[in-house]
Amino acid sequence: MRTEKTVMKHLLIAVFMITLTGVVLTGCGLRNADAENKPENFVTNDSTKEKSGEYMFKVQKTDEEWKKELTEEQYYVLRQKGTEKAFTGEYDHHKEKGVFACAGCGAELFSSEMKYDSGCGWPAFFTKLAGDRIIEQVDRSFGMIRTEILCASCGGHLGHVFDDGPQPTGLRYCVNSASLKFIRSGQK
Ligand SMILES: [Zn+2]
C-alpha cells in the first residue's frame, strides 16, 4: 500500500512539473514575440505543410504606426484580420472603372474589370493583377479551413479566396472594402 501511494505521489508530481514547464515555456514564447514587436510583420503558418510560411514584407511598420495611418476599420481588418459586416462595405456595389489598391500600402491588387457581383456582401474579383501581389495561406480560424489572402507588400489581411467563382478562373477573391482603396481610371 505504501509503495503504491508513493508511486502515485511521484506520478502526480511528474504530471504537475510537465504542466508547469509547458505553461512557463508558452509564457516565454509569448513574451519574446511581444518584446521583438514583430508578430504583425511576420506571417507564420501554423501548419507544417506550408514550409514557406514565413515572409518578410517590404513595407514594415510598427503597430503604433499602422494605428496612426489607418482608420479604425482598416486597422481592424488589415492588421487584426477582421472582417467587415456583409453588405456594408464601400466597394460592395462599386462599378466605376479603375484599380483597387491595398489600403495599407497602396500596392495595386485588382482592376475593376476583374470585379463581379457575387452577391456575398463583399467585393469579389475572379482574378488579380499579374505578379506576386497577393500571398495565400491556410486559415484554420472559426473551425473552417479557408485560404486567406494577404497583400504581398505589407502583409495586410485582404480576405479569402474560394473556388466557387465564375469562369475562366473559377475563383472568387472575396475582399473587405476596408482593405482596399479605389483609384479611378486616369486619376493616378
Ligand atoms: Zn499592402
* Pair 95, 112: CB distance under 8 Å: yes
- The domain locations on the chain are 1-36, 63-184
pLDDT for residue 54: 64
Catalytic position from the list 102, 105, 154, 174: 174
Options 2.60.120.10, 3.50.50.60, 3.40.50.970, 2.170.150.20; CATH of 63-184: 2.170.150.20
* Ligand 1 centroid to residue 106 C-alpha, Å: 6
Residue with cell 484599380: 99
**How many residues would you count in the chain?**
188
Rounded Cα gap, residues 72 and 178, in angstroms: 10
Cα 67 to ligand 1 centre (Å): 14
**What pTM does this model have?**
0.71
CA of 44 to the centre of ligand 1 (A): 17
Please give the pLDDT value at position 47: 35
Known catalytic residue at 174: yes
Residues lining ion ligand 1 (Cβ < 5 A) are 102, 104-105, 107, 151, 153-154, 156
State the Cα–Cα distance between residues 122 and 164, nearest whole angstrom.
14
In the reported structure, the alpha carbon of residue 185 is separated from the centroid of ligand 1 by a whole-number distance in angstroms of: 20
Residue 106 or residue 33, greater confidence? 106
Reduced to 3 states, what is the DSSP secondary structure of residue 111? strand
The torsion region of residue 2 among left (phi > 0), alpha (psi -120 to 50) and beta comes to: alpha
Give phi and psi for 67, each to the nearest 5: -60, -40
Return the pLDDT at 15. 55
Q: Is 155 exposed, middle or buried (0-12, 13-18, 19+ CB in 10 A)?
A: buried
User: Distance between CA 155 and CA 182 in Å, rounded?
Assistant: 19
- Which pLDDT score, from 0 to 100, does residue 40 have? 39
| Sequence-distant (≥ 6) Cβ neighbours of residue 171 within 8 angstroms | 126, 127, 161, 162, 163, 165
Which pLDDT belongs to residue 56? 85
pLDDT by residue (tens digit) across 7-53?
667 766 655 555 544 444 443 333 333 333 333 334 443 332 233 35
Spacing, Cα 121 to ligand 1 middle (Å): 22
